[in-house]
Amino acid sequence: MGPRLAQDPVELVPELAEVSAALFKATGNRSIPRTTISLVQLRAGQIVGNTYLTVLHTGFLRKAGESEERITAVASWQDAPYFTGAERAALALVEAVLQPSAHGERVSDELYTQVAEHYDDRALTTLTIAIGQVNFFIPIALIAKPVPGRSFTDPWA
């Protein structure tokens, strides 16, 4: 299946490049590893069922030298032995944000406390922005259906 938009969204709305660059800069403040951000964003792509986002973030992780085991195991991170406590907390947080909760509040106090055990306020804010960053691009990915493997607004290119 081809893309729905014939043009790159950045060509149609050039301001998108500025927004993308600002979000990438905000998440690149080194308070949390770039790998953790990519793991979280890969999981977000998996949750929303978007091939473009999963291919994009898988590629970022490969470029960073991540093992195929870790990349593949993101979909089943809860029982995979490849992730640190901090990575598990970040993955739990993105799942809570993106998936409805049968128990009401998506991000419970218990989950927040668990995440805060691994991340100081700056890092937790950065992680929150990283989740928001991928959430910003989810509608573009779902509606425009860009071609997997071809990246628009790719800050790592």
Region 116-132: what's the mean pLDDT? 97
Instruction: Indicate the pTM of the whole model.
Output: 0.89
User: In the prediction, which pLDDT does 150 show?
Assistant: 60
Backbone angle region of 124, left / alpha / beta, with phi > 0 → left and psi within -120 to 50 → alpha: alpha
Residue 75 belongs to domain with CATH number: 1.20.1290.10
Residue 87 pLDDT > 60:
yes
Is 111 domain-assigned? yes
Is 48 domain-assigned? yes
Total tally of structural domains belonging to the chain: 1
Is 101 domain-assigned? yes
What are the pLDDT digits (tens) for 18-42? Answer: 998 999 999 999 999 999 999 999 9
Angle between helices 85-98 and 109-116 (to 10 degrees): 150
Is 66 domain-assigned? yes
User: In the prediction, which pLDDT does 102 show?
Assistant: 82
User: In the prediction, which pLDDT does 151 show?
Assistant: 52
Is 114 domain-assigned? yes
Is 74 domain-assigned? yes
Is 153 domain-assigned? no
Is 1 domain-assigned? no
Residue 149 pLDDT > 80:
no
Residue numbers of the domain that contains 68: 14-144
